[in-house]
Amino acid sequence: MELRKKEAAVAAAAAVAEMERGSKGLAALGLESKPISSLRRDVSAGTDMEKLSLIQVASLIESSAKKGITELSLRGKLVDQIEWLPVSLGKLQDVTELDLSENRIMALPSTIGSLRYLTKLDLHSNQLINLPDAFGELSNLIDLDLHANQLKSLPSSFGNLTSLANLDLSSNMLKALPDCLGKLANLRRLIVETNELEELPYTIGSCTSLVELRLDFNQLKALPEAIGKLEKLEILTLHYNRIKGLPTTVGSLSRLRELDVSFNEVEVIPENICFATSLVKLNLSRNFADLRALPKSIGNLEMLEELDISSNQIRVLPDSFRCLSRLRVFHADETPLEFPPREVVKLGAQAVVKYMNDLNAARGTNQKKTDRGSFWTWLFSLFGCCKKNQEVGLPV
């Protein structure tokens, strides 16, 4: 085994040397059309037959720094015994994309803050417990993937990552997000699924560029009113939390297209939600014994195409349901709906909308007849009253 490792290392070194000599080596490797920065990336991570030891990693970092490479991938390339990276990592000052994912790294050196040109950093599926304060010096970072680690908190310097647009913190052990999160004014996508969050910081309302916010599988009991300030938000998922109600400010989310509050403890959906007129997909399912009615003005959601109210205690759909002309998917499984009848619900969303429309039209016709009958009854009673007054000599 040791012999094979040495042979592989020698072969890899020879390949690199051959590449550096010119086109003959490139042709030999079938890489003659690739730019040099990509070649270095491929050789450093993609063509190694064996995982790298700490000494080999340090050597690779040194050589990569001297060559001024811009992209480096060590995804799944470190031996399991490597739990930390050498301080020489800070020498990769020309690197713009760095992939260290799928290893067993527990700590990052503070020198990582020296990678000032770094725009994309992938650290997912490691064993990181915390991040160094110097992490906040990565001011050009745009994409950061930290999912599937063991993070319990974020450093206060995290708010200095003002260029950050995409942040994945899912599958960690976070109980809270720092207030400094509100400084991330360019953040468009925030994924914090599968953590232990009990609340969101009020400063979340300052992340005004947010388009997608995923908070599934946490311990959230409520959302801050400031959520209504996220005017660009299009996707909000809260699946499997402990939320009892939504803030009235949710109606201010005029661009919201998808809202998922399934598997919670929601008791009431605020009428204000009907001002979120861009909603296309709404999942209110499995709030079980808590949710008993839909907002009366749900018909205002004229763009709605998918609605799930399964496993709730809703018995009657509001009259305005008839206005949901775009509705294509309607789930009401294990919900004791009495109106409309179950037979109609089984026919699908359009059948339910048509039923509600027909019923409303029938009510309108009956109401007109009732109104007409009431008028004649009133007129006859008035005429009879006048006649009686004449008989007793009273003025009419």
pLDDT 10s digits, 245-292: 999 999 999 999 999 999 999 999 999 999 999 999 999 999 977 799
How far is residue 148's CA from residue 174's CA, in Å, rounded to a whole number?
Answer: 11
- Of 361, 367, 358, 307, which is closest to residue 337 (Cα–Cα)? 307
Strand partners for 120: 97, 143
Segment 332-353, tens digit of pLDDT: 999 999 999 999 999 999 999 9
Can you tell me the distance from the alpha carbon of 378 to that of 359, in angstroms, rounded to the nearest whole number?
Answer: 28
pTM: 0.81
Q: How confident is the model at residue 75 (pLDDT cuts 50, 70, 90)?
A: very high
- Note the pLDDT tens digit of each residue in 21-42: 333 332 322 333 234 344 344 4
Is pLDDT above 60 for 110?
yes
φ/ψ (deg, to 5) at 267 = -100, -35
Contact 261, 282 (CB under 8 A): no
The pLDDT tens digits for 144-155 are 999 999 999 999
pLDDT of residue 44: 44
Calculate mean pLDDT across residues 354-378.
63
What domains, with CATH codes, occur in the chain? 244-380 (3.80.10.10)
Examine the pLDDT at 379 and tell me if it is beyond 90.
no
Q: What is the pLDDT of residues 39-74, one digit of tens each?
A: 344 434 444 457 999 999 999 999 999 999 999 999
Q: Where are the alpha helices (DSSP H) in 166-276?
A: none
Confidence band of 121 (pLDDT split at 50, 70, 90): very high
pLDDT tier, 304 (very low <50, low <70, confident <90, very high otherwise):
very high
Q: How far apart are CA 164 and CA 23, in angstroms?
A: 39
pLDDT band at 365 (very low <50, low <70, confident <90, very high): low
Residue 3 has pLDDT above 70, yes or no: no
97-101, 202-206, 345-349, 362-366 — which is least confidently predicted? 362-366
**Torsion angle of C-alpha atoms 221, 223, 224, 226, degrees rounded to 10:** 180
What's at 116, amino acid-wise?
R
CA distances from residue 247 to 89, 180, 273, 298, 318 in whole angstroms, order as listed: 46, 23, 9, 17, 21
Secondary structure element (H or E) that encloses residue 331, with its range = strand 329-331
State the average pLDDT for the chain: 85
The answer to whether 333 and 311 are in contact (CB under 8 A) is yes
Beta carbons of 291 and 270 less than 8 angstroms apart:
no
